[in-house]
Chain A
Amino acid sequence: MNRRGLGLTRRAVIGTAVGLAAMAAIPSVVQGADDEIILGLVSPLSEPGDARSGEAIKKTADLWVKMTNEAGGIDGKKVRLAVYDDQGKVEVGAAAVERAVTEGHASAILGIWSSSVALAQMEVAKRYNVPILAFYTWADEFTGKNYPQVFRIGPYNSQIAAQMAPFVEARGYKKVVVLAEDTAYGLGFAKSFEEAAKDKDFDLEIVQFQAQTQDLTAVMSRVKAMEPDVVIVQTVFTATNLSIKQGREVGLKADIVTGWDWPLLPDFWDTVGEAGVGVIYPTFSDASMTVTSTGQQFIDAYNQEYGVEPAIFQYYLWDNFNAVKAAIEKAGTADPAQLVETLPNVQFEGTIGEIAFRNDEGTVNFHQWDKFAMFFKQLNNVGDGDAEATLVHVVK
């Protein structure tokens, strides 16, 4: 038989088959079943986003869903995650939230991370009137814009800067360099710290660098030449551990204070080695911290599931999920618009205390929970974890 008898070429047949396969692979837009609640998880799950943290976020979310469903779900309905990767990019993150809402039919958006991305994502959430919750997105503007849809259980830049400046002064540092990545988080902190340092007895210089850099040697050489007493590093990507490692390589003698508790991440000592000894990190967690029964349940379950302790930011994420759960139970519905109305007034036991949002209009403390202390700890030996670190300062 003539292959052309049917009017089909081999290319057309292959092309059609590939097209059909591709169509089958596209997630079908199906309304969520009536007996399930869908929550959108939009996080950096791949590079160039902070995928290390994204992995921790996904683990926390998966565990919460598993435990919630094992306990019977929310109001008898099973919970399902609609997971989207924001890749740490503004445009991808915004599109991911839009897909979570329109395609995934998510009742709420959780798991957001990078400040620069979150500021775009919240605009989408506002447009669709869907609640969006942050836990470790530090830009003041996130809640500072007072959008009804936006909530945060976690710290923010000006608050951290206000707590860090007295610590710096108390340590007797006279020349301070803030090394900030060029993102809303890094530059936002730098600006807040500059404000907080105005009446303090130390000189401050801010050195900006590209967030995605893979080599900080030139930047650290410049910082070293400034002869600072301390370098405060505000970054999320490879520059976290690179700043310490390469700082010591170029002969930087200053104390190094990390901007958040990344030294507790699994790859810290493997990548930084001896250079990590003496590093000071701020954290919101300490043995003296009150952990509620909810918190202890989370810690134990996480440890059992993954074999490691959760980091403090994962506690806040857990609280985010429970906030949504509390709102759904209070409203009697998972309708996003109802959750936007209900969330501001929820009250429940969080991992480290009672959670209730502050709703101070016109301020950053709008839909914000901020009842936590800041602990500054120092690593003294290679391999030290949070338990072995020395507590050097507390701000409550």
Chain B
Amino acid sequence: MDQLLIQSLVLGVLQGGLYALLAVGLSLVFGVLRLVNFAHGEFAMLGSFGAVFAVSALGLPVWFGLLAAALAGAAVAAATNLVVLRPIYRSRMRQKGEYTIITTFMLSQFLIAAATLLFGTTYRRLPGFWNENLNLFDFVFLSGNRIVAFAASIILIGLLFWIVYRTDIGRAWRALTENPLGAAVAGIDINRYANYAFLAAGAFAGVAAALLAPLMFVYPASGTVALVKAFIVVIIGGMGSIGGALAAGLLLGMVEVLGTVYVDSGYTDAYGFALMIAVLLLRPQGLFGRAERAV
């Protein structure tokens, strides 16, 4: 079989796993609160800076960097929920969706500017767990960190599945997704479980960015592309569907890599957008979404 084809397929799957991890938090928040969060990319970016700070500045081990990324992402996400979004979704205003979009977009610009001021424009890299360039049977050439990132993504997405389907928190999230009013009547505290959703979303985004950091670079605007990819995955997979986010992430990764390698290298992002448009036209709720969304 053609070496380039195998290389492309493997790269696509590995990249897709990371896209899925970036997207699951976004999907979770939307499923639970029906909120579109344009600052999600900055949760990832700040998480990666947390990892860089922990490892490069404090000299802590790499695995601690992942923990720092999760904590940083979660902290920013929780603060966003408490300070920026809760006043909106708990209010009686009619255009909550529109206000959320505007506010989170402005917040993302603010966070990018703040990060630029605080951290500067220099690109930073994070050492990974497997800093070797691998040659697998002369057919696949890639960084060991890419395999680590994919494996970690699958494990973390599996963890999220477990939380959603095997814990009380997950049951509460599913209830809120199915019927917020009914969940409130049943005694589910929307504030508390919304907090949990944001904490999880921020943590996952932060860890995803920290896993990507050894492969790419960390800089203030690095969350912008992450957000776009996350949105495409969520729309293709189905808003509020974590399983859909995983499948869509893998699909997006494959389409982008194969398009870049075999069609034209100048339109990588366009392949993802084309796929998203096709899904919206043929199945607007997403590949695994339902009209009455579910986590």
Chain A interface (Cβ within 8 Å of chain B)? 46-48, 51-52, 54-55, 182, 207-210, 212-215, 217-219, 221-222, 224-225, 238, 241-242, 246, 248-251, 266-267, 270-271, 273
Q: Which of B143, B224, B261 contacts A47 (CB 8 A)?
A: B224
Q: Are A214 and B222 in contact (CB under 8 A)?
A: yes
B288 at the interface (CB under 8 A from A): no
Name B125's contact: one of A207, A212, A248, A270 (CB within 8 Å): A270
B133 in contact with A249 (CB, 8 Å) = yes
A271/B125 contact (C-beta < 8 A), A212-B225, A218-B256, A249-B141 known: yes
Residue in contact with A271 in the complex, picked from B124, B135, B142, B221, CB distance below 8 Å: B124
For A207, what are the chain B residues with a Cβ–Cβ distance below 8 Å?
265
Asked if residues B124 and A55 are in contact (CB atoms below 8 Å), the reply is: no
Q: How many residues of B contact A (CB 8 A)?
A: 40
Q: Which residue of A lies closest to B3 (CB)?
A: A225
- The yes or no answer to B260 lying at the interface (CB within 8 A) is yes
Per the bound structure, the CA–CA distance linking A213 and B124 in Å amounts to 16
Q: Assess A221 versus B143: contact at CB under 8 Å? Given A48-B224, A238-B219.
A: no
Minimal beta-carbon separation of B13 from chain A (angstroms): 12
B95 CB-CB contact with A under 8 Å? no
B141 touches A250 (CB 8 A): yes
Does B110 reach chain A (CB closer than 8 Å)?
no
Query: What 0/1 readout, one digit per residue, does chain B (1-24) give for beta carbons within 8 Å of chain A?
Result: 001100110010001000000000
Report yes or no: A271 in contact with B261, Cβ–Cβ below 8 A. no
- List residues of chain B with CB within 8 A of the CB of A54: 121
- Asked if B122 lies at the interface with its beta carbon under 8 angstroms from chain A, I say yes
Residues in B whose Cβ lies below 8 Å from that of A209: 265-266, 268
Shortest Cβ distance from B2 into A: residue? A225
List, in ascending order, chain B residues with CB within 8 A of A214's CB.
Answer: 216-217, 222, 225
CB distance from A45 to the nearest CB of B (A): 8
Q: A residues within 8 A CB of B219?
A: 47, 238
Write out the residue numbers on chain A whose beta carbons fall within 8 Å of the beta carbon of B141: 221, 224, 249-251
B181 to chain A, nearest CB (A): 28
Q: How far is the CB of A12 from chain B (nearest CB, A)?
A: 17
On whether the beta carbons of A218 and B11 are closer than 8 Å, the reply is yes
A218 touches B257 (CB 8 A): yes
Instruction: Give, as a whole number of angstroms, the nearest-CB distance from A271 to chain B.
Output: 4
Partner of B220, one of A47, A182, A242, A248: A47
Which are the 6 A-B pairs with shortest beta-carbon distances? A47-B221, A251-B141, A51-B121, A208-B266, A218-B260, A218-B257
Q: Is B269 an interface residue (CB 8 A)?
A: yes
Q: Which residues of B contact A47 (CB under 8 A)?
A: 112, 116, 121, 219-221, 224
Does B267 reach chain A (CB closer than 8 Å)? yes
Contact A222–B217 (Cβ < 8 Å): no
Closest residue of chain B to A46, judged by CB? Answer: B116
| Distance between Cα atoms of A222 and B268 in the complex (Å) | 13
- Output the least CB separation between A1 and chain B (Å): 28
Is A55 touching B121 in the complex (CB atoms < 8 A)? yes
Distance between B221 CB and nearest chain A CB, rounded to angstroms = 3
Q: Which residues of chain B from 106 to 136 have a CB within 8 Å of any chain A CB?
A: 112-113, 116, 120-125, 133, 135
Q: Which residues of B contact A212 (CB under 8 A)?
A: 225
Confirm or deny: B215 has a beta carbon within 8 angstroms of a beta carbon on chain A. Answer: yes
The residue in chain B whose Cβ has the minimal distance to the Cβ of A88 is B221
Which residues from chain A contact B266 at a C-beta distance below 8 Å? Answer: 182, 208-210
Q: List the A residue with the shortest CB-CB distance to B115.
A: A47
* CB–CB B122/A222 < 8 A: no
Chain B positions 121-174 with a Cβ under 8 Å from a chain A Cβ: 121-125, 133, 135, 141-143, 146
Q: Whole-angstrom distance from the CB of B184 to the nearest CB of chain A?
A: 28
Q: Assess the B133–A55 pair: CB atoms within 8 A.
A: no
Judge whether A217 and B256 touch: CB under 8 Å.
Answer: no
* Contact sample, A vs B, 25 pairs, CB 8 Å cutoff: A46-B221, A52-B123, A55-B120, A208-B266, A209-B265, A209-B266, A213-B225, A214-B216, A215-B15, A215-B216, A217-B146, A218-B256, A218-B268, A219-B260, A238-B123, A246-B215, A249-B141, A249-B143, A249-B146, A250-B7, A250-B141, A250-B142, A267-B122, A270-B125, A273-B125
Taking the closest CB of chain B, its distance from the CB of A215, in whole angstroms, is 6
Is B4 a contact partner of A213 (Cβ separation < 8 A)? no
The reply to whether A51 and B142 form a contact with Cβ atoms under 8 Å apart is no
**Once the chains are docked, how many angstroms separate the CA of A362 from the CA of B116?**
42
CA distance A107 to B98 in the complex (A): 43
The contact of A221 among B4, B113, B221, B268, by CB within 8 Å, is B4
Contacts of A217 in B (CB 8 A): 11, 15, 142, 146, 215, 257
Complex contacts, A241 vs chain B, CB 8 Å: 123, 217
Residue contact B133 to A251, C-beta cutoff 8 Å: yes
Closest residue on chain A to residue B270 by CB atoms: A210
A238 and B217 contacting across the interface, CB-CB below 8 Å: yes
Chain B residues, Cβ within 8 Å of A219: 260, 265, 268
Q: Taking CB as reference atom, which chain B residue is nearest A187? A: B266
Chain A nearest CB: distance from B252 CB in Å?
12
The one of A246, A267, A273 that contacts B124, using a Cβ cutoff of 8 Å: A267
Contact code string B199-239 (vs A, CB < 8 Å = 1, else 0): 00000000000000001110111101100000000000000
List A contacts of B116 (CB < 8 A). 46-47, 51
Say which residue of A46, A52, A249 sits within 8 Å of B113 (CB atoms): A46
- Bound: A215/B216 CA distance, A: 7
The answer to whether B124 touches A270 (Cβ under 8 A) is yes
Known pairs A46-B113, A48-B221, A218-B8; A208 contacts B265 (CB<8 A): yes
How close is B122's CB to chain A, nearest CB, in angstroms? 5
Complexed CA–CA distance, A297 and B107 (Å):
44
Q: Within the complex, what minimum Cβ distance (angstroms) separates A300 from chain B? A: 24
In the assembled complex, how far is the CB of residue A60 from the closest CB belonging to chain B, in whole angstroms? 15
Interface members, chain B 1-54 (any A CB < 8 Å): 3-4, 7-8, 11, 15
Question: Could you tell me if A221 and B11 are in contact, using CB atoms closer than 8 angstroms?
Answer: yes
Determine how close the nearest CB of chain A comes to the CB of B81; give it in whole angstroms: 23
Q: Given the complex of chains A and B, what is the CA–CA distance between A213 and B267 in angstroms? A: 10
